[in-house]
């Protein structure tokens, strides 16, 4: 006799008429969940002889992992770099809002700040798992202050530091690195190779950015453990045919065989031209990671806003330092960035980013991609994917799921 799952214990949820990523494939199959985890439907039906307590018709949508946001400075007026009180409350507010845009895990980002600010803020930014109440925190992205002042962008000049004493200077500035996931630095700084090596050995992803580095300096940094480029094309030397600078890392022959260089792209329609999006993706699809680089003004109405010590103006769907045309980050949400990428590249690409550990990184949190390419099933690529629907996991392992479709209109389900 078949009975309802509630008689067994917790209720069963069955997603019907959906498409699921399996390896590098996309298959049509129902998905069963219980207690926030995916379960094997054959064991449920044949062994326990139960049917689902609730069935959801996905109407042909794709179920996959939710978005992972690797670079976000804040939202809804919350500035991760400035809020020294009620830090946890601010994180909770932003993480809840991010779910509305499909983000299930993120790295709150702190831009170049003074040591006392880091010492006040970082102890309150702990890694955490996500839930239906808010996105999970993979760790902090420390964007600066070890950057080149010539490419500081909106970072405050008085906060910029060097590491003449190597890693000790890094520790003195940040206080501790217990919850650091990514550190952005300029590889042309003195002692950078040793610092990069030691940070990588600690399981921290070292990203290259806000830099005047040439290609050789970038290659040396990668050979010492760097594996990421912060917002490619922005706050770095432009591509040149005699020295392609950091952009050249996408096709460099000096990258170790067991090492992949990933790069963030701000696909908001403002920071990066559609042609640049296409160029980057076509020459190195495996490394692509869409980021928003969203500033605290994300979610605020057009006009002037005071965020910390700076006045920011929101106009024409972009945020600039008041009275200038200097971009100070994006105000686009992740789903808008993915939609823009899809429309700009004219390619039907569906990519899944999962929380994982990369062996050559020495542990720590990074992302292992899987891809289904509707045209030719390319090599695995790396970008964010779909919208949050349910907090669940793959047969016993907790994971974030989303429901959506990139074949046609890209809408939150």
Query: Which CATH number do you get for residue 18?
Result: 2.30.40.10
234 assigned binding-site residue: yes
Task: Record the tokens describing residue 322, joined without a space.
Answer: 């008041």
Does some domain include residue 147?
Answer: yes
Q: What angle do CA 109, 111, 116 make, to 5 degrees?
A: 105
Q: Both 143 and 51 in a single domain?
A: no
Instruction: Yes or no: say if 26 and 69 are a contact pair by the CB < 8 Å rule.
Output: no
Task: Record the tokens describing residue 336, joined without a space.
Answer: 């808008």
Q: Both 48 and 77 in a single domain?
A: no
Of 315, 333, 355, which one is at a domain's C-terminal end?
355
Q: Tens of pLDDT along the chain (413 residues)?
A: 445 554 546 888 888 988 876 665 678 888 888 877 778 877 776 676 688 889 988 888 777 667 889 999 999 889 999 999 999 999 999 999 998 888 889 999 999 999 999 999 999 999 998 888 899 999 999 999 999 999 998 899 999 999 999 999 999 999 999 999 999 999 999 999 999 999 999 999 999 999 999 999 999 999 999 999 999 999 999 999 999 999 999 999 999 988 899 999 999 998 899 999 999 999 998 898 999 999 898 988 899 988 767 788 998 888 888 899 887 778 999 888 888 888 898 764 444 333 322 222 222 222 333 222 222 222 323 322 222 222 223 333 334 555 554 433 334 44
Instruction: Yes or no: say if 240 and 277 are a contact pair by the CB < 8 Å rule.
Output: no
Does some domain include residue 230?
Answer: yes
Task: Record the tokens describing residue 268, joined without a space.
Answer: 């908001």
Residue with tokens 């939150």: 412
List the one residue out of 284, 287, 306, 281 whose CA is nearest residue 295.
306
Q: Within 13 A of 398's CA, how many CA atoms are on the CB side?
A: 11
Q: Both 129 and 224 in a single domain?
A: yes
Q: Both 47 and 84 in a single domain?
A: no
Chain Cα centroid distance, residue 197:
23
pLDDT in tens, 6-61: 454 688 888 898 887 666 567 888 888 887 777 887 777 667 668 888 998 888 87
Catalytic positions are 293
9 assigned binding-site residue: no
Distance from C-alpha of 78 to C-alpha of 85, rounded to nearest angstrom: 11
Q: Count of domains in the chain?
A: 2
- What pLDDT is recorded for position 348? 45
Q: Both 126 and 208 in a single domain?
A: yes
Does some domain include residue 391?
Answer: no
Instruction: Yes or no: say if 130 and 102 are a contact pair by the CB < 8 Å rule.
Output: no
Q: Both 165 and 298 in a single domain?
A: yes
DSSP conformation class of 37: E
Q: Both 99 and 199 in a single domain?
A: yes
Q: Both 237 and 253 in a single domain?
A: yes
329 assigned binding-site residue: yes
Task: Record the tokens describing residue 262, joined without a space.
Answer: 């990933």
231 assigned binding-site residue: yes
Does some domain include residue 202?
Answer: yes
Does some domain include residue 168?
Answer: yes
Q: Both 271 and 298 in a single domain?
A: yes
Query: Which CATH number do you get for residue 252?
Result: 3.20.20.140
Does some domain include residue 406?
Answer: no
Longest dimension (CA), the chain: 74
List the one residue out of 385, 400, 403, 388 whose CA is nearest residue 348.
385
Q: Both 19 and 86 in a single domain?
A: no
271 assigned binding-site residue: yes
327 assigned binding-site residue: yes
pLDDT in tens, 189-232: 999 999 999 999 999 999 999 999 999 999 999 999 999 999 99
List the one residue out of 22, 32, 30, 23 whose CA is nearest residue 61.
30
Instruction: Yes or no: say if 243 and 213 are a contact pair by the CB < 8 Å rule.
Output: no
For residues 85, 203, 263, 173, the Cα torsion angle rounded to the nearest 10 degrees is 40
Q: Which residue range is the domain that position 106 belongs to?
A: 67-355
Q: Both 145 and 40 in a single domain?
A: no
For residues 141, 181, 194, 215, the Cα torsion angle rounded to the nearest 10 degrees is -60
Q: Both 343 and 262 in a single domain?
A: yes
> Phi and psi (nearest 5°) for 219?
-65, -40
Does some domain include residue 271?
Answer: yes
Distance from C-alpha of 413 to C-alpha of 395, rounded to nearest angstrom: 23
Three-state secondary-structure class, residue 184? strand
Task: Record the tokens describing residue 104, joined without a space.
Answer: 């299930």
Report the DSSP pairing between strands 318-321 and 310-315.
Answer: antiparallel
Does some domain include residue 410?
Answer: no
């Amino acid at each position: 006799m078949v009975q309802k799952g509630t008689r067994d214990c917790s209720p069963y949820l069955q997603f019907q008429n959906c498409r699921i990523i399996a390896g590098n494939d996309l298959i049509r199959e129902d998905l069963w969940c219980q207690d926030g985890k995916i379960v094997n439907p054959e064991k449920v039906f044949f062994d326990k002889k139960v049917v689902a307590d609730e069935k959801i018709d996905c109407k042909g949508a794709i179920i996959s992992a939710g978005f992972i946001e690797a670079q976000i400075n804040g939202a809804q007026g919350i500035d991760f770099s400035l809020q020294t009180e009620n830090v946890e409350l601010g994180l909770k507010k932003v993480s809840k809002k991010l779910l509305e845009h499909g983000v299930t895990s993120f790295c709150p980002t702190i831009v170049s700040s003074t040591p006392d600010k880091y010492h006040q803020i970082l102890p309150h930014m702990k890694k955490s798992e996500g839930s239906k109440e808010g996105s999970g925190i993979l760790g902090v992205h420390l964007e600066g202050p070890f950057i080149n002042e010539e490419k500081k962008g909106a970072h405050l000049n008085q906060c910029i530091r060097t590491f003449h004493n190597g890693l000790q200077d890094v520790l003195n500035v940040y206080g501790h690195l217990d919850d650091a996931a990514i550190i952005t630095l300029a590889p042309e700084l003195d002692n950078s190779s040793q610092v990069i090596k030691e940070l990588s050995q600690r399981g921290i992803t070292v990203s290259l950015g806000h830099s005047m580095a040439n290609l050789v300096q970038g290659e040396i940094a990668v050979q010492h453990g760097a594996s990421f480029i912060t917002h490619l094309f922005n706050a770095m030397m432009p591509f040149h045919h005699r020295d392609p600078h950091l952009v050249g890392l996408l096709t460099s022959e000096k990258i170790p065989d067991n090492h992949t260089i990933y790069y963030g792209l701000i696909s908001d329609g403002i920071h990066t031209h559609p042609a640049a999006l296409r160029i980057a993706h076509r020459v190195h699809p495996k490394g692509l990671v869409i980021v928003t680089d969203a500033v605290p003004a994300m979610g605020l109405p057009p006009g002037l806003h005071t965020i910390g010590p700076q006045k920011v103006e929101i106009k024409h769907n972009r945020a600039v330092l008041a009275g200038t045309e200097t971009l100070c980050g994006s105000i686009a949400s992740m789903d808008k960035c993915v939609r823009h990428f899809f429309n700009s590249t004219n390619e039907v690409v569906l990519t899944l980013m999962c929380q994982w550990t990369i062996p050559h990184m020495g542990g720590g949190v990074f992302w292992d991609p899987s891809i289904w390419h509707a045209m030719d099933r390319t090599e695995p690529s790396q970008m964010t994917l779909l919208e949050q629907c349910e907090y669940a996991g793959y047969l016993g392992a907790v994971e974030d799921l989303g429901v959506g479709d990139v074949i046609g209109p890209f809408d939150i389900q």
